[in-house]
Amino acid sequence: MRSTTVLPGTPSPPPSAGDVPLHRLEVAGPGAAPFAAGSFEEVGPLSRWDRPHRHTFYEIVHVSAGSGTHVVDLARWPVRPPQLAVVLPGQVHHWEGGQGPEGTLVLFTDDFLVDHPGDRELLRELGARCWFGLDAEQDRSLRPLIGELVAEHRQRAPGHESVLRSLLHVLVVRAARLPGRTASGREPRTQGRPAAVAEAFTRLITRPRAAGWTVQECADRLGVTAGYLTQAVRAATGRPPGRLLIEARVYQAQQLLAHTELSVRQVAARTGFADPAYFSRFFRRETGSSPGAFRKHHSHHHQSLEAPRRPA
* Cβ contact 111:58 at 8 Å: no
- For each of the chain's 312 residues, which pLDDT tens digit applies? 567 888 888 887 787 766 788 899 999 888 789 999 999 999 998 999 998 898 999 999 999 999 999 998 768 899 999 999 999 998 889 999 888 899 999 999 988 998 888 898 899 889 988 999 999 999 999 999 999 999 999 999 999 999 999 999 999 999 999 986 544 444 444 457 888 898 889 888 877 778 789 999 999 999 999 999 999 998 888 889 999 999 889 988 988 898 788 999 999 999 999 999 999 999 999 988 999 998 888 765 444 444 443 333
Residue 306 is predicted with a pLDDT of 44
The size of the chain, in residues, is 312
Query: What pLDDT score does 180 carry?
Result: 65
- Please report the DSSP string for the chain in residue order: -GGGEE-TTPPPPPPPTTPPPEE-EE-SSTT--SEEEEEHHHH-GGGG--S-BEESSEEEEEEEE--SEEEETTEEEE--SSEEEEE-TT--EEEESSS--EEEEEEE-GGGGTT-TTHHHHHHHHHHH-EEE--HHHHHHHHHHHHHHHHHHHH--TTHHHHHHHHHHHHHHHHHTS----TTSS-----HHHHHHHHHHHHHTTSGGGTT--HHHHHHHHTS-HHHHHHHHHHHHSS-HHHHHHHHHHHHHHHHHHH----HHHHHHHTT-S-HHHHHHHHHHHHSS-HHHHHHHHHHHHHTTSPPPPP-
- Distances, alpha carbon 86 to alpha carbons 27, 55, 186, 248, in Å: 20, 12, 17, 21
Q: What is the pLDDT of residue 307?
A: 42
Instruction: Please list, in sequence order, all residues whose beta carbon lies within 8 angstroms of the beta carbon of residue 203, skipping any fewer than 6 positions away.
Output: none
Closest alpha carbon to 26 in 14, 17, 38: 38
Residue by residue, DSSP assigns 239-279 as S-HHHHHHHHHHHHHHHHHHH----HHHHHHHTT-S-HHHH
How much is the pLDDT for 30?
Answer: 80
> Residue 185: what pLDDT?
42
Q: Report which residue type is found at 253.
A: A
Residue 98 CB contacts under 8 Å (≥ 6 apart), including other chains = 66, 67, 68, 69, 79
Q: What is the pLDDT of residue 1?
A: 59
Rounded to whole angstroms, the Cα distance separating 73 from 52 reads 9
